[in-house]
Structure 1
């Protein structure tokens, strides 16, 4: 029997991290649908292109803010260090960093597109607007749109890798990688284990005093 110590279990995600993750999923899904299906939505639903793009831009700015918070949490959160080099952990870490980088870049380029068209990005529920990163520039719009599309497809590829890896952990490896991001924090104890635990006799040792 090997006496090597077991590898430390990955720390559980906090409720805040889980909420931020699924909030990012919702924002990403909405902005992708609004962006990629904008022509279909305007043709089939009667929505105006302006209203669809407001949703797309609003979700993009919200996703940028959430990603900043997630990055701060990821940097400050203590990580379990495993002994030796683990290629799987290194690849997962690299993909996560690339996803964050592509989100930052794509959202910022989208912000530039709006400003280069001579428009401002409004702050929801206020009369304020986000700072303008650039002045109106039609030539910059063409370049920024090209870069935005390229970044979007790169991000789609990274997200596909992330989803496939999570499903592989759940279906093939059968570990708790995917379950750790679920709302249920702790798995329930099996019924057999509960019965075994409840049937374990308590210690009834008594102190006996001997007569001298």
Structure 2
């Protein structure tokens, strides 16, 4: 398994990117619907799923950051300096909030003194702190407001990737897609 790819993100980086993206989208969908559910066994199941997925994304983000530090990144796509700076800032903000969301949720769960959380029902997750109403309120605020910031960052990130792909027609997005998708023939390339 090669650490460095000269012109594109490697397979491990791509897999981690898309797993985290799918995880964040799933957690966001659950988070938006679960607050409207009536308290029932299904309510607890949805909350536990939301928390378990959040901890999974946290673990994937740790692996992703470690892999990024180990494997590095391909060279930047040529673009104006201001675009490089904005891309760098937005990427690091995405990393920050992708860590902040599950950590603030875990801290909120811990400070709430709720029943023990079992990761997908398999293993009990340790509490980070003892019950603390003040810390609970702070963690909840970070979690709720952080969600909207992360959602905005994800939209900007995806919009920029699509803009580079369809408007600028550069390789920014293609470098994060599996080569099989890039090299797949389009319907017009196939002979009848």
Fold-level similarity (TM above 0.5): yes
Partner of 1:183: 178
Picking from 159, 162, 173, the partner of 2:157 is: 162
The answer on whether the counterparts of 2:161 and 2:172 sit within 8 Å (CA) in structure 1 is: yes
Partner of 2:107: 112
Picking from 30, 55, 61, the partner of 1:61 is: 55
Partner of 1:73: 67
Partner of 2:135: 140
Aligned with 1:165: secondary structure? helix
Picking from 82, 86, 94, the partner of 1:91 is: 86
Q: Distance in 2 between matches of 1:24 and 1:76?
A: 18
Picking from 41, 46, 58, the partner of 1:52 is: 46
Q: Distance in 2 between matches of 1:39 and 1:106?
A: 17
RMSD: 2.7
Matched, 1:34 2:63: no
Output the TM-score relative to the length of structure 1.
Answer: 0.73
Q: Which has the higher contact order (CA 8 A, sep 6+)?
A: 2
Picking from 97, 100, 124, the partner of 1:129 is: 124
Aligned with 1:168: secondary structure? helix
Partner of 1:204: none
Q: Distance in 2 between matches of 1:94 and 1:135?
A: 35
Unaligned runs of 5+ in 1: 1-8, 190-212
Q: Which runs of 4+ in 1 moved over 6 A?
A: none
